[in-house]
A and B are shown apart, each in its own frame.
Chain A
Amino acid sequence: MARYGMVMDLRTCVACDACSAACSIENQTPFWDNKFRTKVLDIEVGTYPEANRQFVPTICMHCEEPACVEVCPSEASFVTKDGFVLVDYEKCMGCRACMAACPYDARYVYTQENVAKAKQLYSEELSQHLVPHVDKCTFCYDRVGQGMDPACVSTCPEKSRVFGDLDDPNSEVAKLVSAGVAKPLRPELGTKPKVFYIL
C-alpha cells in the first residue's frame, strides 16, 4: 500500500501547459470543449513595475478526506487502497454533487456530446470514455500501475511536478512535505489534500 502524493513547485513553473496537453492526450479529455483535468492558472498580481504573473498548476488533490467521495450517492467516486480518488464511469449517474462539493475545481462533466466526439476522434476501439460521467484526474492510476509517473509529471520540462509515495521517507515528495517546504492549500477545509505546493 502506498500513499501517493504530488508536489507542485511554483518556483519553476513557466505555465508552458505541457502538463495540460499531456494529460488530455493520455486520458482523452475533451480539450475541444475547453475541459482539462489539470490546468495552469496565470494570475496577475501587483502593479507595474512590480507586477508579476503567478503560475499555479491545478489538479485533483486526491484528498484523504475527499468531500466528493463523501457526497457521492452512487459510490462511483471512490478511493483505492493506494489513495487514488477515482470515478468509476459505469457507476456514475451524473448527479454532480461531487462537483459542487469539491473545493478544488477538480471535476467536470464528460457529456454525451463529449463521448460522441471522443469516439469520432479516437475511434470506437480506442476511446476511453464510453458513457457520460463526471470526470476528474486519476493521478494516472493506469500509468502508475505500470511503474510510470503520471503523464503531467513525466513531461513537465521544469520538473515543477514531483510524484511519489508520501509514506516512503526516501521519496522526494515525502522529503519536501515533511521538511515543510511543500504545503497543502487551505488545510482548514479538512479534506487533507495530497497535493502540496512550493510557493
Chain B
Amino acid sequence: MSHHNIKVNDREYVVQEAYEWPLAVYLFFGGLAGALVTIGVFLYYMGLNETVVVVAILSAIISMAIAGIVLVLFELLRPFAAYRSLVNWKHSGISWDVILVSLVIGGGLLFVLPLLSDQIGTLGGITTFLSSVQWLLGGLAVLAGILFPIISGGLLSSFNSVPLWHSPALPVVFFLTSFSAGFSYLLLVSSAYFSEGMKKGFWGFIFGLSLLLILISLSYLETIKNGPVEAQLGLGILKQSKPFLYGFVLVGLVVPAILGGWLFFGSYVSGIAFIGALSVIIGGFVLRHYILKAGVHTYPWPY
C-alpha cells in the first residue's frame, strides 16, 4: 500500500489509503440491511404477507453478517481484537456503527423469530415472550436500520481532513441510496408476493428517492466546485473514472429516475422493473466505492 499522489502546480495531494473496497462493501450491505429491516417491520405492521417480511429481515441479517465479516476479515489488521471496537462508544462513530449493526442483527432476529414459530416451534416459550415485546424489538431494529446509513455517512463526513467527504450531503446520500436499494432488493427477490399496486408504490418511493438524490448530488457538486482544491481533485478522480460515470451517474442516478417514473406513472413492465431494481443496487455500491476512492486528503503544508 503506498500513497497515491496527485501533483498539481508542484503541490502533491494524497489520496486516502485507509479505506478500500471492503469498506465500500460494508457500507453498502450495512445500509441495505438497515433499509430492509426497516421496510420489513413496516410491512409487517401494515399487515403484509409474513413471508415477505421474513425474507426481508433474514436478508437484512445475512447482509449485515456479510458486512460484519467483510469488515472483520478485510479491514482489520487484527480481527481477533474486533471486540475492542466497542470500547470508546462514547465518542467513536465506529463504535456506534458496530452497536447499530448489532441492533439491526439482534433486533431483526428476535423480531422475526416469532414469525417462524411454525417452522421452529416456540423454543420453550421464548418466541411467545418475544412476540409480547415484538413492537419494541421492531422499533429498535428500525431505529438502528435508519440510523446506520446516516451514522456511517456521518462518520466519513466528520473527517475535515477529507473535504470531499466533509459535507452534510454524505449521510443523506447514504440514507437515500440505502432505502432505494432496499426497495429494489425486495422487488427483485419477492416480486411474486406483491400486488402490482404495491410494486408501483415501491417504485414511487424509488422514484422519489432518486429525484432527491439527483437534487442533492447537483447541489453537492455545486458546493465542491467552489470548495477546497482537494475536494475538486476528488471530484476530478470521479469524473475520470468510467465505472463511476456509467455505474453511478448513469446506472445509479439517471436510469432509476427514468425507469422509476415510468413504472410509477406508466404501465408496469416486469422486465423493466428488473433492470431498474438492479440498476439501483449497482449504483448504490459503485457510489460508495468511488466516494472512498476519491478521498483526497488536505494536508496543511504551508506551500
Contact = CB atoms under 8 A, between A and B. Distances in A.
Interface of A: 10, 34, 41, 43-45, 54, 56, 58, 67, 70-76, 91-97, 99-105, 109, 111-112, 131-134, 185-186, 189-190, 197, 199
Contacts of B11: 43
Nearest to A68: B161
Contacts of B295: 100
B208 to A, nearest CB: 32
Nearest to B165: A100
B16 A100 contact: yes
B62 interface: no
Interface string B2-25: 100000001110101111000000
Interface of B: 1-2, 10-12, 14, 16-19, 75-79, 81-82, 84-89, 91-95, 98, 155-156, 158-162, 295, 297-303
Contacts of A10: 302
Given A103-B160, A103-B161, A186 B300 contact: yes
A44 B10 contact: yes
Given A100-B19, A103-B299, A105-B14, A92 B161 contact: no
A67 B161 contact: yes
A185 B161 CA distance: 13
B78 A92 contact: yes
Greatest chain A CB density within 10 A among B11, B87, B88 is at B88
Contact of A73 (B78, B88, B158, B300): B88
Contacts of B91: 70-71
Contact of B299 (A73, A76, A91, A104): A104
Given A104-B299, A111-B77, A95 B161 contact: no
A95 B301 contact: no
A92 B81 contact: yes
Nearest to A44: B10
A139 to B, nearest CB: 19
A96 B18 CA distance: 6
Nearest to B161: A103
A106 to B, nearest CB: 10
B92 to A, nearest CB: 4
A79 to B, nearest CB: 12
B81 A91 contact: yes
Contacts of A58: 299, 301
A134 to B, nearest CB: 7
A199 B301 CA distance: 11
Given A58-B301, A93-B82, A99-B18, A75 B87 contact: yes
Contact of B88 (A74, A111, A133): A74
Given A97-B18, A97-B155, A199-B302, A75 B77 contact: no
B175 to A, nearest CB: 20
Given A54-B302, A91-B84, A100-B16, 4 more contacts: A72-B88, A74-B81, A94-B76, A131-B78
A97 B84 contact: no
Nearest to A110: B77
B94 A97 contact: yes
A41 to B, nearest CB: 6
A71 B93 contact: yes
A199 B76 CA distance: 39
A8 to B, nearest CB: 10
A43 B76 contact: no
16 contacts: A54-B302, A56-B301, A71-B92, A73-B85, A73-B89, A74-B84, A74-B85, A75-B87, A76-B84, A91-B84, A94-B77, A99-B18, A101-B158, A103-B299, A103-B300, A189-B161
B11 to A, nearest CB: 7
A105 B10 contact: no
Contacts of B156: 100
B77 A100 contact: no
B121 to A, nearest CB: 38
Contact of A132 (B78, B84, B92, B94): B78
Contacts of A43: 10-12, 301, 303
Contacts of B300: 103-104, 185-186, 189
Contacts of B158: 71, 101
B154 to A, nearest CB: 12
Contacts of A102: 161
Given A43-B11, A101-B161, A95 B1 contact: no
